[in-house]
Amino acid sequence: MCGIIGIVSKNLFSSEDLLRALKRLEYRGYDSFGYATNSGILEKDIGEIRLLSSNECTTAIGHTRWATHGGVTKLNAHPHADCKNEIFIVHNGIIENYLELKEKLRGHVFRSETDSEVIAHYLEEKLKTKPMREAIIDFINEAEGTFAVVVLQKSGQQLYAFKRDSPLVLGLAGDANIFASDIYAFSDKTNKAVFFEDDEFAEVSDSSYAFYNKSGNMLDKKIYEFEWKEEESEMKFDHYMLKEIYEQPAVAERLINSLRTVQADKLENLVSLIKNSRRIIFIAVGTSYHASLLGVYFLHKAGVEAQTIIASEFKDYANVDENTLVIAITQSGETMDLIDAVKHAKRKGAKIASLVNVPYSTVQRLSDLSLQIEAGQEICVAATKSFMNQVILLLSLAREFGYDVNPEKISEVMRSVFGKEEKIKSIARSLSASKDLYIIGRGLSYPVSREIALKLKEISYVHAEGMMGGELKHGTLALIEEGTPVIALINGNPHIISNAMEVKARGGRIIAVTNQKNLSVAKDLIEIDADNDAAFAIAAIIAGQLLTYYIAKEKDLPIDKPRNLAKSVTVK
């Protein structure tokens, strides 16, 4: 979850330079931050990344934290140091046997509550009798859990880094080499990267680098040249979430064009894999899981049997073999639950395809075939444009099997929803004091109800439940009382209107998101222009995103950085 960076340069760089790179990783965690330099400066604090003092160096490490072990305090912030403040480390992951390792380090003074600090003291102890390279090998072989670690020694002109499961990449930037949690940290400096695999470590100076396996044998690593689309439009919005909502038509058009041109062969190959597989299983988490539910719906309508399983439960609910195609859907490509599920499927002999936003991410590198969703960088923790492009890619895939929809008209549908913004703002104001909110849908709109509910929870801090309209009477109706708000997604299914009437009969307040004319079940209407199920789903999603945004804004919440959350979940 955390963001880590390490820079070793031929030229002096400032603390401002380091923090700019670290700021690009802040979506991975923003509880606290810190940095250390090879001159021995160690500074850290709680809260968002900001300049603490101005200085220059040639070698430094930095960290932005999402708390796991230990509360959000200055002492628990990274980097962590050894007893003498001569070894500094930054860490992303969880050391599961840190108490056992700590027990062996008697006499060392620990300052924090974290599992991470044990790494600095472990290396300090080993360096009494061994060089750094051997100390790292010992740690890799003894540590249990997940880790991406960058190590800095006071007065040193080198950095060391090693990883297991947590993401780590080396950027080659000419006069500097840069370790980071992902390529976005240095994508403004270089498009050349070397990716770590599990249980590898590297030793890097300003002009050279070497990779090793956990036995100490040198590795020959491939240099990747990546393309990464950063949205450079002027920030004329109050929050990145709204900016990214408004970018959705443009990035949708970019994806559709890509599927017609540079990714056409990959799409054709995915179609072939599906046709030649006995079983099709999507795996995803969070927002991407809701996209996968829509994908299953699209494919079923086209006559293709598929199912989807949340990645964290995959091992217990899926049978896979060599005749299975597993399709992983992910924004970051680094979600730990998803990576575990993909590795499990590969061990069982399944073929792996993936739909990924971040190029050369772990999930993409584990896949036999991967398509880019082309959403570009998302700054807000909430997935908006990445979710939308996942849905559009799945829609385009289903079209290859005969699903009757034209993806090229989707951007027009999206833009039409923006014309309803004032109405959505008005409804948001009336809902801002609500503690509970229910969203009901049927068929295609059921996954949409789940997605809108998730957005309301994570951004607006509203207890929201998205559910099948038919399930309302099997328990949840007991919670409906006078004034309880219920959003009904109404797109021609008469049963969802009946469900809404059941709510209304018990005093509930119906807010309809609908493409139906002359609808009398609700006084509060968000009317959208959509002439088919897929278009309705996409328009309703954007309406839900805007509603979420304006409720959160009315409550003056930290929209782009909601409490307790991070965008890339790299722990179990």
Q: What confidence score (pLDDT) does residue 367 get?
A: 97
**Residue 572's pLDDT band (cuts 50, 70, 90):** low
Counting residues of the chain whose pLDDT is more than 90, the rounded percentage is 82
Q: What's the pLDDT tens digit per position in 336-350?
A: 999 999 999 999 999
Q: What confidence score (pLDDT) does residue 408 get?
A: 80
Tell me, which fold does domain 3-225 have in CATH? Glutamine Phosphoribosylpyrophosphate, subunit 1, domain 1 (3.60.20)
Question: Does residue 163 surpass a pLDDT of 70?
Answer: yes
**Residue 228's pLDDT band (cuts 50, 70, 90):** low
CATH class of 420-565: alpha beta
Contact status, residue 459 vs residue 382, Cβ threshold 8 Å:
yes
Q: What's the pLDDT tens digit per position in 369-415?
A: 999 999 988 889 999 999 999 999 999 999 999 998 888 888 999 99
Rounded to the nearest 10 degrees, the angle between the axes of helix 533-554 and helix 410-418 is: 30
Other beta carbons within 10 Å of 470: 14
Q: What confidence score (pLDDT) does residue 120 get?
A: 97
Average pLDDT over residues 237-265: 95
Which residue shows structure tokens 């399709």? 327
Q: What confidence score (pLDDT) does residue 251 get?
A: 95
**Residue 518's pLDDT band (cuts 50, 70, 90):** confident
Average pLDDT, the chain: 93
Question: Does residue 221 surpass a pLDDT of 60?
Answer: yes
512 vs 534: CA distance, rounded Å: 18
C-alpha distances in Å from residue 506, one per residue of 64, 430, 472, 473: 48, 20, 12, 12
453 vs 438: CA distance, rounded Å: 8
Average pLDDT over residues 508-524: 89
Average pLDDT over residues 222-228: 85
Question: Does residue 70 surpass a pLDDT of 90?
Answer: no
Question: Does residue 270 surpass a pLDDT of 90?
Answer: yes
**Distant-in-sequence, close-in-space partners of 327: CB < 8 Å, separation ≥ 6:** 280, 281, 282, 283, 292, 295, 353, 354, 355
Question: Does residue 143 surpass a pLDDT of 70?
Answer: yes
303 vs 444: CA distance, rounded Å: 15
Let me know if 567 is a catalytic residue. yes
Contact status, residue 60 vs residue 88, Cβ threshold 8 Å:
no
Q: What confidence score (pLDDT) does residue 568 get?
A: 62
Residue ranges, CATH 3.40.50.10490, the chain: 237-405, 420-565
Q: What's the pLDDT tens digit per position in 465-496?
A: 999 999 988 999 999 999 999 999 999 888 99
| CA–centroid distance for 375 within its chain | 12
Peptide bond into 79 cis (omega under 30): yes
Of 2, 44, 154, 243, the catalytic one is: 2
Of 126, 351, 385, 567, the catalytic one is: 567
Contact status, residue 296 vs residue 308, Cβ threshold 8 Å:
yes
Let me know if 517 is a catalytic residue. no
Counting residues of the chain whose pLDDT is more than 70, the rounded percentage is 97
**Residue 440's pLDDT band (cuts 50, 70, 90):** very high
Average pLDDT over residues 90-108: 94
Question: Does residue 235 surpass a pLDDT of 90?
Answer: no
Rounded to the nearest 10 degrees, the angle between the axes of helix 410-418 and helix 385-400 is: 150
Contact status, residue 513 vs residue 490, Cβ threshold 8 Å:
yes
| CA–centroid distance for 277 within its chain | 29
Residue ranges, CATH 3.60.20.10, the chain: 3-225
**Residue 498's pLDDT band (cuts 50, 70, 90):** very high
The CATH architecture to which 237-405 belongs is 3-Layer(aba) Sandwich (3.40)
